Amino acid sequence: MMKDIATPVRTKNILEKYGFSFKKSLGQNFLIDTNILDRICDFAELDENMGAIEIGPGIGALTEQLAKRAKKVVAFEIDQRLLPILADTLSPYEHVKIIHSDVLKADVKNMMNEEFQGIEAMVVANLPYYVTTPILMKLLTEDLPIRGIVCMLQKEVADRIAAKPGTKEYGSLSIAIQYYTEAETVMIVPKTVFIPQPNVDSAVIRLMKRKEPAAKVEHEDFFFEVVRASFAQRRKTLMNNLMNNVPALKKDKVAVEAILAEIGIDPKRRGETLSIEEFARLSDSLYTIAHK
């Protein structure tokens, strides 16, 4: 029986066999702790009737554990140098498919229609730190038939994603992700279980897709514009941020003040104190002024 990939010795042997060197630009850090990979798979609640989508499989450490549990695994790998390594390390698993592609440019929905006909899927990944947010936003805004996402990312980003109103971590990223999902940090991962060792600790976050968004919003694009504007300068009041960062409102300060009064939101509050529901009310009410 072959030893798991995610052991220090086997990882080192694989890297040496292929003369692989890490590319800093791709944020490559490989996990060398099978217990942590097991727990990530537990949080994803995969079973033999489900599919798993992975992003950045590296040398296949997590892919291997997903393959032991899921009916089918499809992984997107951007680094061509890893393809022969993956073909070798994952050769025992016929139900694993590696796609050589940048997931940000890939048609994930089409891939799911082809590869996961009628079976539910989870995204499970150790995400490259430098593109975490764009990847998550792509997966959530493209209306993919996924149950949710369990991913490892920088602890600081996980804190921001799962943050509650009134905390210093809470911001437009928290709202963007919590609008689509129920978000919780399920595990902290020390930097010592990776090679090469990153500078910061990581966290595993679980994002389970909501059946309906967290708040009913008439105009989603404008809602997100109002949210981003409200956090543009954190020390400024809501009123200041709205007037300075939503171009369509600049011409009508009096009307904006009137609307805030009408919906019971104090213009002196800061963006970080507003719940998603309050932002929904605010953006729906401001839309008429911004688009008249």
**CB of 28 within 8 A of CB of 58?**
yes
Token pair 């003369």 is at which residue?
Answer: 19
H helix intervals, 22-171: 34-44, 61-67, 83-89, 108-115, 132-141, 155-162
3-state secondary structure of 267: coil
88 residue type, one letter: D
Does 49 belong to an annotated binding site? no
The helix (run of H) or strand (run of E) holding residue 261 is helix 253-263
Rounded to 10°, the helix 155-162/172-180 angle is 70
Select from 159, 167, 51 the least CA-distant residue to 113: 51
Does 29 belong to an annotated binding site? yes
Does 31 belong to an annotated binding site? yes
- The annotated binding site is made up of 29, 31, 56, 77, 102, 126
Residues of the binding site for S-adenosyl-L-methionine: 29, 31, 56, 77, 102, 126
